């Protein structure tokens, strides 16, 4: 794993945007996996800036999001559809027909998940998957105990995740949907490059277990140790419990 430690959230976001830009410039029709949550918002802001000020062209990219809550219609303010359009897609020149975000309202979730997997294959697989990490070590919504070979499917969210995401639902844990459609750990691991971002002290324990702990389904992100091209971009707080020395981003 390549671990890059940056000074703070903004430096982390800029560094991550550099990887995305490099990919799109090299491969304009790149397939990019996107994540939601607080962590990648700075990265998305920087990509919007690159589009507006430097003409970074997203017109040919194909996108696949990691997950979506079950039961939330696309236009719900807290759906991941709304999140992606508000925080990134509507500000760049992505082609809406190239955007894939799981639909949490389909009647046959199983058939839908199979279709989602097929669709990723049809586009030749994901070139770069952006990831955040949960306090409990989840990636996507693959909570502790998820099969490390799992595919896109429905998952029940862990208590920590419900607590953490209550902030988006007026602080009321009972309003957070209890289940989500998520790409599986196996699906994520097939992406050619993994780019995991983590910021802040509350992620430090999960980051330590991911990088320096054993590979275990109890910390799904730890499977990244087996990936040939896994890059972690951390800020100093998220990296604060790491015991070994890692690449330090001296450009910030
Ligand atoms: C979101 C996702 C989740 C988040 C994780 C961290 O699409 O898949 O794994 O990345 O819950 O969320 P934040 O960034 O809000 O701390």
User: What residues are labeled active site?
Assistant: 67, 136, 138, 143
Considering the domain boundaries, does residue 82 fall inside one?
A: yes
Closest to 185 (Cα-Cα) out of 161, 219, 220:
220
For residues 28 and 59, what is the distance between their CA atoms, to the nearest angstrom?
Answer: 8
Considering the domain boundaries, does residue 242 fall inside one?
A: no
Considering the domain boundaries, does residue 243 fall inside one?
A: no
What is the distance in A from the centroid of ligand 1 to the CA of 194?
14
DSSP state of 90: G
Considering the domain boundaries, does residue 251 fall inside one?
A: no
Give the pLDDT band (50/70/90) at residue 249.
Answer: confident
Give the pLDDT band (50/70/90) at residue 251.
Answer: low
Confirm or reject: Cβ of 39 under 6 Å from ligand 1. Answer: yes
What is the distance in A from the centroid of ligand 1 to the CA of 133?
6
pLDDT value of position 247? 86
Strand order in the sheet with 67-69: 67-69, 179-182, 153-156
For the chain, what is the domain count?
A: 1
For residues 78 and 151, what is the distance between their CA atoms, to the nearest angstrom?
Answer: 24
Given a cut of 60, is residue 252 above it in pLDDT?
no
CATH of residue 219 = 3.40.50.1360
Instruction: Supply the residue whose CA is at minimum distance from atom 10 of ligand 1.
Output: 132
Confirm or reject: Cβ of 140 under 6 Å from ligand 1. Answer: yes
pLDDT value of position 248? 86
Range of the domain at 109: 2-230
Considering the domain boundaries, does residue 154 fall inside one?
A: yes
Q: Render pLDDT for 86-114 as a digit per residue (tens, 0 to 9).
A: 999 999 999 999 999 999 999 999 999 99
Confirm or reject: Cβ of 220 under 6 Å from ligand 1. Answer: no
pTM for this prediction: 0.97
Confirm or reject: Cβ of 68 under 6 Å from ligand 1. Answer: no
φ and ψ at residue 90, rounded to 5 degrees: -75, -10
Q: Render pLDDT for 7-24 as a digit per residue (tens, 0 to 9).
A: 999 999 999 999 999 999
Considering the domain boundaries, does residue 240 fall inside one?
A: no
Q: Whole-number mean pLDDT of the chain?
A: 97
Residues in the chain: 252
Instruction: Supply the residue whose CA is at minimum distance from atom 9 of ligand 1.
Output: 140
Confirm or reject: Cβ of 132 under 6 Å from ligand 1. Answer: yes
Q: Render pLDDT for 196-232 as a digit per residue (tens, 0 to 9).
A: 999 999 999 999 999 999 999 999 999 999 999 999 9
């Amino acid at each position: 794993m390549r671990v890059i430690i940056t000074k703070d959230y903004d430096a982390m976001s800029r560094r991550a945007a550099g990887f995305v830009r490099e990919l799109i410039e090299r491969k304009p029709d790149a397939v990019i996996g996107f994540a939601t949550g607080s962590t990648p918002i700075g990265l998305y802001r920087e990509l919007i800036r690159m589009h507006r000020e430097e003409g970074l062209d997203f017109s040919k990219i194909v996108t696949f999001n990691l997950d979506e809550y079950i039961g939330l219609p696309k236009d719900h303010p807290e759906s991941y559809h709304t999140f992606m359009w508000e925080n990134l897609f509507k500000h760049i020149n992505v082609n809406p027909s190239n955007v894939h975000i799981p639909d949490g309202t389909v009647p046959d979730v199983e058939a839908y998940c199979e279709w989602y997997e097929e669709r990723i294959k049809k586009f030749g697989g994901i070139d770069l998957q952006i990831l955040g990490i949960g306090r409990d070590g989840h990636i996507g919504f693959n909570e502790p105990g998820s099969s490390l070979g799992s595919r896109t499917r429905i998952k029940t969210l862990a208590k920590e995740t419900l607590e953490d995401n209550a902030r988006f639902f007026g602080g009321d844990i009972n309003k957070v949907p209890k289940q989500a459609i998520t790409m599986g750990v196996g699906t994520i691991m097939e992406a050619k490059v993994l780019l995991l971002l983590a910021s802040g002290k509350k992620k430090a324990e999960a980051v330590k277990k991911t990088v320096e702990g054993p590979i275990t389904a109890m910390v799904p992100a730890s499977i990244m140790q087996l990936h040939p091209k896994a890059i972690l971009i951390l800020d100093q707080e998220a990296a604060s419990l790491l015991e070994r020395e890692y690449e330090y981003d001296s450009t910030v």
